[in-house]
Homo-oligomer: A and B are copies of this chain.
Amino acid sequence: MLAQQAHDLPLARRPLAEARPQAKPVGLGPHQVLFHDARSEIYAQGETATALYQVEFGAVRVYRLLADGRRQITAFHVAGEVFGFEAEGQHRFFAEAVSNCAIRAYRLPIEPRAAAEILPVALESLVRAQQHLVVIGRQSADERVATFLLDMMARQGGRAQVELAMSRTDIGDYLGLTIETVSRILSRFKQRGIIRLPNARTVEILREPALRALCD
Protein backbone atom coordinates (compact mmCIF):
# COMPACT_ATOMS: atom_id res chain seq x y z
CA MET A 1 0.00 0.00 0.00
CA LEU A 2 2.74 2.44 0.96
CA ALA A 3 5.21 2.81 3.81
CA GLN A 4 8.15 1.81 1.71
CA GLN A 5 9.29 5.35 1.43
CA ALA A 6 10.84 5.18 4.87
CA HIS A 7 13.56 2.86 3.63
CA ASP A 8 14.77 5.44 1.20
CA LEU A 9 15.67 7.78 4.00
CA PRO A 10 19.18 8.00 5.34
CA LEU A 11 19.63 6.08 8.54
CA ALA A 12 20.27 9.00 10.82
CA ARG A 13 21.74 7.42 13.89
CA ARG A 14 23.83 9.52 16.14
CA PRO A 15 24.84 8.59 19.65
CA LEU A 16 23.19 10.75 22.28
CA ALA A 17 25.94 12.30 24.34
CA GLU A 18 24.57 11.88 27.83
CA ALA A 19 20.93 10.91 28.04
CA ARG A 20 19.19 11.19 31.36
CA PRO A 21 17.45 7.92 31.79
CA GLN A 22 13.69 8.34 31.59
CA ALA A 23 13.18 4.60 31.65
CA LYS A 24 14.77 2.17 34.04
CA PRO A 25 17.36 0.09 32.17
CA VAL A 26 16.84 -3.65 32.36
CA GLY A 27 19.71 -5.55 33.91
CA LEU A 28 21.37 -6.55 30.71
CA GLY A 29 24.81 -5.16 31.20
CA PRO A 30 26.46 -2.61 28.97
CA HIS A 31 24.31 -0.54 26.68
CA GLN A 32 24.38 2.54 24.54
CA VAL A 33 21.71 5.11 23.89
CA LEU A 34 21.17 6.08 20.26
CA PHE A 35 19.07 8.87 18.87
CA HIS A 36 16.83 8.17 15.88
CA ASP A 37 15.05 10.70 13.72
CA ALA A 38 11.43 10.04 12.88
CA ARG A 39 11.14 7.38 10.17
CA SER A 40 14.67 6.16 10.53
CA GLU A 41 15.21 2.42 10.54
CA ILE A 42 16.32 0.68 13.71
CA TYR A 43 16.67 -2.72 12.12
CA ALA A 44 15.41 -4.46 9.03
CA GLN A 45 13.91 -7.83 8.27
CA GLY A 46 16.65 -10.29 7.37
CA GLU A 47 19.36 -8.41 9.23
CA THR A 48 21.43 -10.25 11.77
CA ALA A 49 20.18 -9.35 15.22
CA THR A 50 22.87 -7.59 17.20
CA ALA A 51 20.98 -6.13 20.12
CA LEU A 52 17.85 -5.84 22.18
CA TYR A 53 16.35 -2.37 22.36
CA GLN A 54 14.59 -0.30 24.99
CA VAL A 55 12.74 2.89 24.18
CA GLU A 56 14.05 5.81 26.18
CA PHE A 57 11.62 8.33 24.75
CA GLY A 58 9.57 8.55 21.57
CA ALA A 59 7.77 5.70 19.84
CA VAL A 60 8.74 2.80 17.60
CA ARG A 61 6.80 0.65 15.15
CA VAL A 62 7.61 -2.98 14.39
CA TYR A 63 6.14 -4.32 11.17
CA ARG A 64 6.30 -6.60 8.22
CA LEU A 65 5.68 -5.86 4.56
CA LEU A 66 4.00 -8.20 2.11
CA ALA A 67 5.28 -8.38 -1.46
CA ASP A 68 2.55 -6.07 -2.76
CA GLY A 69 3.21 -3.38 -0.17
CA ARG A 70 0.55 -4.28 2.38
CA ARG A 71 1.96 -3.62 5.80
CA GLN A 72 1.09 -5.03 9.19
CA ILE A 73 2.41 -3.23 12.23
CA THR A 74 2.69 -5.88 14.93
CA ALA A 75 3.47 -3.48 17.74
CA PHE A 76 4.10 0.08 18.80
CA HIS A 77 6.61 0.59 21.59
CA VAL A 78 6.87 3.60 23.88
CA ALA A 79 9.12 4.70 26.74
CA GLY A 80 10.33 1.85 28.91
CA GLU A 81 9.34 -0.97 26.59
CA VAL A 82 11.79 -3.52 25.26
CA PHE A 83 11.65 -4.87 21.71
CA GLY A 84 13.77 -6.70 19.18
CA PHE A 85 13.02 -10.18 20.51
CA GLU A 86 11.68 -11.45 17.28
CA ALA A 87 15.00 -12.84 16.25
CA GLU A 88 16.79 -16.08 16.42
CA GLY A 89 19.90 -14.70 14.88
CA GLN A 90 17.92 -12.92 12.20
CA HIS A 91 15.32 -10.18 12.50
CA ARG A 92 11.95 -11.25 11.14
CA PHE A 93 10.47 -7.75 11.10
CA PHE A 94 11.34 -4.13 10.52
CA ALA A 95 11.64 -1.62 13.34
CA GLU A 96 11.42 2.12 12.70
CA ALA A 97 11.19 5.26 14.76
CA VAL A 98 7.67 6.69 14.56
CA SER A 99 8.82 9.98 16.03
CA ASN A 100 12.21 11.25 17.07
CA CYS A 101 13.31 8.92 19.79
CA ALA A 102 16.14 7.59 21.89
CA ILE A 103 16.79 3.88 22.00
CA ARG A 104 18.95 2.03 24.47
CA ALA A 105 20.67 -0.89 22.76
CA TYR A 106 21.87 -3.95 24.66
CA ARG A 107 24.33 -5.86 22.58
CA LEU A 108 23.63 -9.54 21.91
CA PRO A 109 24.26 -12.23 22.85
CA ILE A 110 23.02 -11.65 26.36
CA GLU A 111 24.66 -13.68 29.08
CA PRO A 112 22.78 -16.75 30.26
CA ARG A 113 22.37 -15.27 33.73
CA ALA A 114 20.56 -12.26 32.28
CA ALA A 115 18.08 -14.55 30.54
CA ALA A 116 16.01 -14.93 33.70
CA GLU A 117 15.74 -11.17 33.78
CA ILE A 118 14.52 -10.64 30.24
CA LEU A 119 12.24 -13.65 30.06
CA PRO A 120 9.35 -11.82 31.76
CA VAL A 121 9.90 -8.87 29.45
CA ALA A 122 9.73 -11.14 26.42
CA LEU A 123 6.57 -12.73 27.77
CA GLU A 124 5.01 -9.30 28.04
CA SER A 125 5.53 -8.91 24.30
CA LEU A 126 4.05 -12.34 23.74
CA VAL A 127 0.93 -11.58 25.75
CA ARG A 128 0.57 -8.26 23.96
CA ALA A 129 0.83 -9.93 20.56
CA GLN A 130 -1.73 -12.54 21.52
CA GLN A 131 -4.14 -9.93 22.85
CA HIS A 132 -3.76 -8.08 19.62
CA LEU A 133 -4.60 -11.24 17.71
CA VAL A 134 -7.96 -11.25 19.45
CA VAL A 135 -8.55 -7.62 18.53
CA ILE A 136 -7.64 -8.07 14.90
CA GLY A 137 -9.16 -11.49 14.47
CA ARG A 138 -12.48 -11.06 16.18
CA GLN A 139 -13.35 -7.41 16.74
CA SER A 140 -15.19 -5.02 14.46
CA ALA A 141 -13.61 -1.83 13.22
CA ASP A 142 -15.34 0.21 15.95
CA GLU A 143 -14.14 -2.15 18.63
CA ARG A 144 -10.60 -2.11 17.31
CA VAL A 145 -10.36 1.66 17.33
CA ALA A 146 -11.93 1.84 20.79
CA THR A 147 -9.46 -0.74 22.09
CA PHE A 148 -6.62 1.15 20.50
CA LEU A 149 -7.60 4.46 22.10
CA LEU A 150 -7.94 2.89 25.55
CA ASP A 151 -4.58 1.17 25.14
CA MET A 152 -2.91 4.43 24.14
CA MET A 153 -4.55 6.17 27.08
CA ALA A 154 -3.35 3.53 29.51
CA ARG A 155 0.18 3.76 28.15
CA GLN A 156 0.17 7.52 28.73
CA GLY A 157 -0.73 7.22 32.37
CA GLY A 158 -4.49 7.22 31.91
CA ARG A 159 -4.87 10.90 31.20
CA ALA A 160 -7.88 11.75 29.05
CA GLN A 161 -5.78 13.79 26.64
CA VAL A 162 -4.00 11.25 24.45
CA GLU A 163 -1.20 12.24 22.11
CA LEU A 164 -0.91 9.96 19.10
CA ALA A 165 2.65 9.69 17.91
CA MET A 166 1.55 7.84 14.80
CA SER A 167 -0.34 8.69 11.61
CA ARG A 168 -3.73 7.34 10.56
CA THR A 169 -1.87 5.07 8.16
CA ASP A 170 0.10 3.60 11.05
CA ILE A 171 -3.04 3.11 13.09
CA GLY A 172 -4.74 1.41 10.16
CA ASP A 173 -1.79 -0.87 9.53
CA TYR A 174 -1.72 -1.75 13.22
CA LEU A 175 -5.44 -2.50 13.45
CA GLY A 176 -5.79 -4.25 10.11
CA LEU A 177 -7.96 -1.44 8.71
CA THR A 178 -7.64 1.21 6.05
CA ILE A 179 -6.85 4.78 6.90
CA GLU A 180 -10.30 5.81 5.62
CA THR A 181 -12.03 3.48 8.03
CA VAL A 182 -9.93 4.72 10.96
CA SER A 183 -10.71 8.30 10.02
CA ARG A 184 -14.43 7.64 9.64
CA ILE A 185 -14.67 5.87 12.98
CA LEU A 186 -12.84 8.64 14.80
CA SER A 187 -15.22 11.12 13.20
CA ARG A 188 -18.18 9.05 14.31
CA PHE A 189 -16.84 8.85 17.88
CA LYS A 190 -16.41 12.60 17.83
CA GLN A 191 -19.89 13.15 16.51
CA ARG A 192 -21.30 10.94 19.27
CA GLY A 193 -19.47 12.97 21.89
CA ILE A 194 -17.22 10.08 22.89
CA ILE A 195 -14.03 11.90 21.99
CA ARG A 196 -12.80 15.33 20.99
CA LEU A 197 -10.18 15.87 18.29
CA PRO A 198 -8.38 19.14 19.07
CA ASN A 199 -6.13 18.19 16.18
CA ALA A 200 -5.49 15.10 14.13
CA ARG A 201 -2.84 13.78 16.51
CA THR A 202 -4.61 14.54 19.77
CA VAL A 203 -7.60 12.65 21.09
CA GLU A 204 -9.40 13.75 24.21
CA ILE A 205 -11.47 10.97 25.66
CA LEU A 206 -14.73 12.38 26.95
CA ARG A 207 -16.72 9.24 27.65
CA GLU A 208 -14.34 6.44 28.53
CA PRO A 209 -17.16 4.10 29.59
CA ALA A 210 -18.63 4.37 26.10
CA LEU A 211 -15.31 3.19 24.68
CA ARG A 212 -15.06 0.36 27.21
CA ALA A 213 -18.59 -0.73 26.33
CA LEU A 214 -17.43 -1.05 22.73
CA CYS A 215 -14.41 -3.21 23.47
CA ASP A 216 -16.40 -6.33 23.86
Contact = CB atoms under 8 A, between A and B. Distances in A.
A119 B115 contact: yes
Given A88-B123, A92-B130, A176 B136 contact: yes
A138 B176 contact: yes
A74 interface: yes
A71 B138 CA distance: 7
A116 B122 CA distance: 12
A115 B145 CA distance: 36
A62 B72 CA distance: 23
Interface string A78-117: 0000000111100011000000000000000000110110
B72 A137 contact: yes
Contact of A120 (B66, B71, B88, B126): B88
Q: How many protomers of this protein does the assembly include?
A: 2
A118 B119 contact: yes
A17 interface: no
Most buried by B among A85, A116, A127, A137: A137
B216 A68 contact: yes
A112 B113 CA distance: 7
A2 interface: no
Contacts of A130: 62, 64, 74-75, 86, 92-93, 129
27 contacts: A64-B134, A66-B138, A66-B139, A70-B216, A71-B138, A72-B134, A72-B138, A74-B133, A74-B134, A75-B130, A85-B126, A86-B123, A86-B126, A88-B120, A92-B127, A92-B130, A93-B130, A113-B116, A118-B119, A122-B123, A126-B129, A129-B129, A129-B130, A136-B136, A136-B176, A137-B175, A138-B176
